[in-house]
Structure 1
Amino acid sequence: MKKRYLAIAALALLAGCTTSSDLLKKDPVFYGHTDHTPEAYAACVADSWRRQGEEVKVTNIDGGVDVTTSSVTGMTSALRVQRWSNGSVQIRMAARSSWGSQEQVQAANLCM
């Protein structure tokens, strides 16, 4: 029984170490382009996710913004908004669970 609790604690600790870049290596649950600036689009998504009760973190990255949500077990979804050299703004969202992120995907779509 002790081994089981130790294994669960180790998995929870490892899940907490996930970065947005790690999560974004997964197949996207949402993908698109927008005419908004990365900052304006990210602010819209972050506000929508907060209204859904999510714990949201917004981080500036090179050429854009990452918006992430997390729970007790670590990062649950990540949305990256980046401006490319040709001027287009690309949106890419990945989630640990695609079925649990549908409301977040809808909010990301409405902000476009």
Structure 2
Amino acid sequence: MRILLASVLAVSALLAGCTTPGDLKSGKATISASSSKAPKQYALCVMPKWQDARSGATMTETASGYRLIVATDSTAEELLEVNRASNGSTVALYQRLSWAPGYGRSAIEKAVRDCL
């Protein structure tokens, strides 16, 4: 039983290691939607809400829109990609361990939905 518990703890520790935005994108988006807002307008709606929920939120402009990231130390926790579309924007939220509750996670998801 101790060996099994030690194995589970070791695997958990490995999974909790460094996560990059690219790692988050390799999984399925937690929220995938579209908005009639332009990428900048949508990102500027979400960003202050994310900063209220998690002070580590950052926003950068990309070639096709904006990228918002919440990170702690060297681990990306939340990634929102907002890209230009013909009728506004496409939005994709990626989360590390999306099944696990996290500090500010419900506020992060709510902001993504409320700004659509």
TM-score, normalisation: structure 1: 0.76
Identify unmatched segments of 5+ residues in structure 1: 1-10
Identity of aligned residues (%): 21
Aligned match of 1:103 in 75, 95, 107? 107
Q: How many residues align?
A: 100
- Mapped pair 1:72 → 2:73: yes
Deviation of residue 62 (structure 1)?
1.3
- Off by >2 Å, runs of 4+ in structure 1: 99-103
What's the CA shift string for 1:1-49, capped at 9, x where partnerless?
Answer: xxxxxxxxxx6xx616x1x233122111111100111111111111101
CA distance in 2, matches of 1:92, 1:21: 13
What's the CA shift string for 1:35-91, capped at 9, x where partnerless?
Answer: 11111111111110111133111111111100000112411110000013x344100
Match of 2:91 in 1: 91
TM-score, normalisation: structure 2: 0.74
Identify unmatched segments of 5+ residues in structure 2: 1-13
C-alpha RMSD of the superposition? 2.3
